[in-house]
Structure 1
Amino acid sequence: MNGYPWGAFGQGIGVAAGAALTVMLVTFAIAVARGLHRIVDIAWGIGFTAVAVASYAVSTGQGDEARRLLVTVLTAVWGLRLAAHIAARGRGHGEDKRYERMLDKAPGNRNAYALRMVYLLQGLLVVLISLPVQAAQYVTGPVGPVAYAGVAVWLVGLFFEAVGDRQLARFTADPANKGRIMDRGLWSWTRHPNYFGDFCVWWGLFLIVCDDPVVAAATVVSPLVMSFLLTMGSGKRLLERHMADRPGYAAYVARTSGFFPLPPRGRPADAAGDSRT
């Protein structure tokens, strides 16, 4: 089918799964030893990086080298930046309330439940969402205009995510802002610049494989799954449910776009807080 090495790609998925599983199991062992499952969030970005590097290594000599290197580097830059940010954000804090609530309801052993419902599930999602990164390693044609457009979309995403995270970190570090709603900078244009950034990053990486339309059709499920998670799954929807009762949040919602950046509607009140836990 279109000359693409589907057999080699299939074998590469197995290698990618092994890389993701290794990252998650090592993280699980560290988490159990420390009694702190929130560190699995650090493993999310590291897992994607491990998959990209492993896929690049196992596909040597298969696809266009420029595309292979491009998609690997972009994935690693995104994944390692995210991991470093989450590690710095969580330093000195106890267990994440999301995991506390989940594990308080765990039937039987809490750690075994966390392994099944958090670590292995996240490892599976890493493999699924990274399919375009894996598939790009085997595309033989030269990098074309669609792939370059993907790089541009990726850059937009990294900007929103990195700048949004930095703005929020500086805001929350100021004791004067305790209990206030963050509505400045990128956070005045979208309630979730970090999630919008992730959205762009993964659609951008998908576009890099779209020079081969058949491969694109086979892997489009990946950015669709990421988009669902960011908007309807564990991202925007869950976070906004958690924030709903905070003073000033309803007014912030009324004047600020829920996801895609748009000019704010009206002037922000003298309030500001955390739109990301």
Structure 2
Amino acid sequence: MSGFPWGPFGTGVGVSAGGVLAVMLVTFAVGVAKGRHRYVDVAWGAAFAVAALVSLAMAAGRGEGDGVRQGLVTALTVVWGVRLSLHIAHRGRGKGEDPRYEKMLAKGSGDPRLRALRTVYLLQALLVVLVSLPVQAAQYLPNAVGPLVYVGCALWLLGLFFEAVGDHQLAAFTADPANKGRIMDRGLWSWTRHPNYFGDFCVWWGLFLFACGSWPTAAATVVSPVVMSLLLTKGSGKRLLERHMADRPGFSDYASRTSGFLPRPPKRRPAQGS
């Protein structure tokens, strides 16, 4: 699309990257001071909100983009990021280090703080910038919103529903002492083993549609939802969590009757004695 301002967009990405890096460096300082790095998970959602707000300021400050598209894509990203950060902060309140980071940082030699900075904080900053590219590109698209934006909003709503409701159901389940040691297999968790990851998947494919006002911007940013999808299914999401849960009593039965990712009605338990 000849009308897309690639130069200002590139500058905006650089400035947004600086904002994301600042969030991660502040979080790193807190993690070192507190002696645990689980705070980076809280910063993850907040960093996306910062990327959206900085890119909005950069685009609007230059008179670029469509105001309706800018307002929508920024609001949806900020709502998603802030909700996720608040949820993770509440969930981790009073807890020690995340076992994932303990294992990761126990490997290798040298100063563990520098390893944490390199392998946790800087890597996550890079991923935030990469995954948020459709949000940043959408700020600069000059054409008015069309059907793809409305489809994107619907997909985002579906994703937020699965994330928020799934998180609430899991929190209520684990808060009940009677469920200690049991596998959550109710509500949305009976339709998919990972309603929160499926929700993330929908959110980021929905936000990608905001950048599809032209095929060049779509082609340039499709890597972002693809990377997020791989993280959720093959990287630090589903695969890592299920490896951790594999030996828990009842998990193999739960996995045999519940979809691993895309929601579907649960399979029936075999009848007793059959």
Where does residue 57 of structure 1 map in the other structure?
Answer: 57
Query: Which ranges in structure 2 are unaligned for 5 or more consecutive residues?
Result: none
**What is the alpha-carbon distance in structure 2 between the residues aligned to residue 260 and residue 128 of structure 1?**
24
Q: For 1:96-127, what per-residue CA distance to the aligned partner results, in whole angstroms no more than 9, with x for missing partners? A: 00011111114111111000000000000000
**What is the alpha-carbon distance in structure 1 between the residues aligned to residue 153 and residue 70 of structure 2?**
13
Q: Map of 1:123-272 to 2, 5 A cutoff?
A: 123-267=125-269
Where does residue 31 of structure 1 map in the other structure?
Answer: 31
Shift of 1:219: 0.4
Partner SS for 1:162: helix
The letter for the 1-side match of 2:81 is G
- Deviating above 2 A after TM superposition, structure 1's stretches of 4 or more consecutive aligned residues are none
**What is the alpha-carbon distance in structure 1 between the residues aligned to residue 59 and residue 2 of structure 2?**
18
Where does residue 93 of structure 1 map in the other structure?
Answer: 95
**What is the alpha-carbon distance in structure 2 between the residues aligned to residue 104 and residue 258 of structure 1?**
30
Where does residue 274 of structure 1 map in the other structure?
Answer: none
Shift of 1:211: 2.1
Shift of 1:267: 3.8
Where does residue 15 of structure 2 map in the other structure?
Answer: 15
The letter for the 2-side match of 1:13 is V
Query: Which ranges in structure 1 are unaligned for 5 or more consecutive residues?
Result: 270-277
Tell me the C-alpha RMSD between the 2 structures.
1.1
The letter for the 1-side match of 2:241 is L
**What is the alpha-carbon distance in structure 2 between the residues aligned to residue 246 and residue 209 of structure 1?**
42
Among residues 63, 75, 78, which one is paired with 1:76 in the alignment? 78
Partner SS for 2:38: helix
Partner SS for 1:59: helix
Q: Does the Cα contact within 8 Å between 1:46 and 1:83 map onto a contact in 2?
A: yes
Q: Does the Cα contact within 8 Å between 2:201 and 2:229 map onto a contact in 1?
A: yes
Shift of 1:268: 9.2
**What is the alpha-carbon distance in structure 1 between the residues aligned to residue 212 and residue 125 of structure 2?**
25
Among residues 113, 116, 120, which one is paired with 2:115 in the alignment? 113
TM-score (norm 1): 0.96
**What is the alpha-carbon distance in structure 2 between the residues aligned to residue 209 and residue 18 of structure 1?**
22
1:167 and 1:53, CA in 2 relative to 1: closer, same or farther beyond 3 A? same
The letter for the 1-side match of 2:57 is A
Shift of 1:2: 2.2
The letter for the 1-side match of 2:30 is I
Q: Does the Cα contact within 8 Å between 1:183 and 1:268 map onto a contact in 2?
A: no
**What is the alpha-carbon distance in structure 1 between the residues aligned to residue 270 and residue 29 of structure 2?**
45
The letter for the 2-side match of 1:137 is Q
Q: Does the Cα contact within 8 Å between 1:191 and 1:259 map onto a contact in 2?
A: yes
Q: For 1:125-180, what per-residue CA distance to the aligned partner results, in whole angstroms no more than 9, with x for missing partners? A: 00000000000000011100011100000000000000000000010011111110
2:36 pairs with 1:42: no
